[in-house]
């Protein structure tokens, strides 16, 4: 947490911020134990099922309890991920030109067409925080936070996802994309939440694909192969990787050419590039990494 010299300790601003954030986390967990959660042992990134279904088929209900639906004027609009009791993380392009008062965040849901699959939680939004440098032409800095008007209670069906640690690179790992997007290019939106496993490429590998090399910035991740890809409607949802017994959100579904086209993997916002931004813009709570 700090650096040593021969005769003294030098505290960097970043170290101090991390310590403050850790202290805030402890306070938040104590608060959650008292009033916001039903289980003090709730940790981020814990799936409700160990086995995985690949190839774009439906998941089991509430397998990924942090995955949220953004609903606008009563209709499904984008995906998002719960990062603590008060905030969800999504793509900036998902909330562009939307009226905050008409946005709703739905958590603990599975089948968006059926109301009997569990107790879904709906929240209004009190603040929309888009990255100030988001570029709609290049989709660079495609990240946003939504502050919930009322904190959510953690439960079996509503839990936060873990954010990755600074400096980690998921290249070479298998990722999982989760969402209610279309199951094929030009197809219908999925009623039930789907998942698909995708290989995560290095930045160099991605720049060698059919995209223009300068289109893929260091703020982006590429993932996918053949017919296994994110698609329209998955925007804002998570790209997850397994770290031990937990899942981390390493990417946010951002853009791509078509769905599952050879040479055009899906492109995601690289979450590690925005950890400081996320921490700075969350006025309550903490970054959950454990």
- Number of Cβ atoms within 10 Å of the Cβ of 169: 14
Residue 142 designated active-site: yes
Query: CB–CB of 79/122 below 8 Å?
Result: no
- Structure token digits, residue 262: 């050879």
Distances (CA, A) of 50 to 11, 239, 247: 41, 17, 11
> Quick check: is 27 catalytic?
no
Selecting among 47, 151, 155, 235, the annotated active-site residue is: 235
Burial class (CB within 10 angstroms; exposed 0-12, middle 13-18, buried 19+) of 185? middle
Distance CA 18, CA 84 (A): 17
Instruction: Find all residues with CB under 8 Å of 6, minimum gap 6, and list them.
Output: none
In whole angstroms, how large is the CA radius of gyration of the chain? 18
Is 190 exposed, middle or buried, given 0-12, 13-18 or 19+ CB atoms closer than 10 A?
buried
Nearest CA among 194, 235, 232, 256 for reference residue 81: 235
142, 155, 194, 254: the active-site residue: 142
Selecting among 77, 93, 141, 194, the annotated active-site residue is: 93
234 is annotated as an active-site residue: no
- Count of other CB atoms within 10 angstroms of residue 116: 5
Catalytic residue IDs: 93, 142, 235
């Amino acid at each position: 947490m700090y650096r040593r010299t021969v005769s003294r300790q030098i505290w960097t601003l970043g170290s101090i911020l991390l310590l403050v954030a850790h202290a805030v986390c402890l306070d938040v967990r104590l608060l959650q134990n008292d009033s916001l959660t039903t289980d003090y042992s709730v940790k981020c990134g814990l799936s409700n099922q160990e086995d995985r279904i690949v190839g774009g088929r439906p998941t089991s209900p509430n397998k990924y309890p942090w995955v949220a639906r953004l609903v606008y004027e009563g209709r499904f609009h984008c995906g998002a991920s719960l990062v603590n009791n008060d905030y969800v993380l999504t793509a900036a392009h998902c909330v562009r030109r939307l009226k905050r008062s008409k946005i709703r965040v739905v958590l603990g849901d599975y089948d968006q067409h059926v109301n009997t699959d569990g107790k879904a939680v709906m929240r209004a939004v009190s603040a929309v925080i888009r990255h100030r440098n988001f570029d709609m032409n290049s989709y660079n800095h495609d990240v946003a936070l939504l502050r919930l008007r009322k904190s959510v209670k953690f439960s079996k069906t509503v839990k936060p996802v873990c954010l990755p640690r600074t400096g980690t690179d998921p290249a070479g790992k298998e990722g999982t994309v989760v969402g209610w997007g279309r199951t094929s290019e030009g197809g219908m939106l999925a009623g039930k939440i789907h998942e698909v496993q995708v290989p995560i490429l290095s930045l160099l590998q991605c720049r060698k694909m059919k995209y223009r090399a300068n289109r893929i910035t260091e703020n982006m991740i590429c993932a996918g192969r053949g017919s296994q890809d994110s698609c329209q409607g998955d925007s804002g949802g998570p790209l997850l990787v397994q770290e031990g017994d937990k899942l981390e959100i390493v990417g946010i579904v951002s853009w791509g050419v078509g769905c599952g086209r050879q040479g055009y993997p899906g492109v995601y916002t690289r979450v590690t590039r925005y950890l400081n931004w996320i921490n700075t813009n969350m006025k309550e709570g903490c970054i959950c990494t454990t």
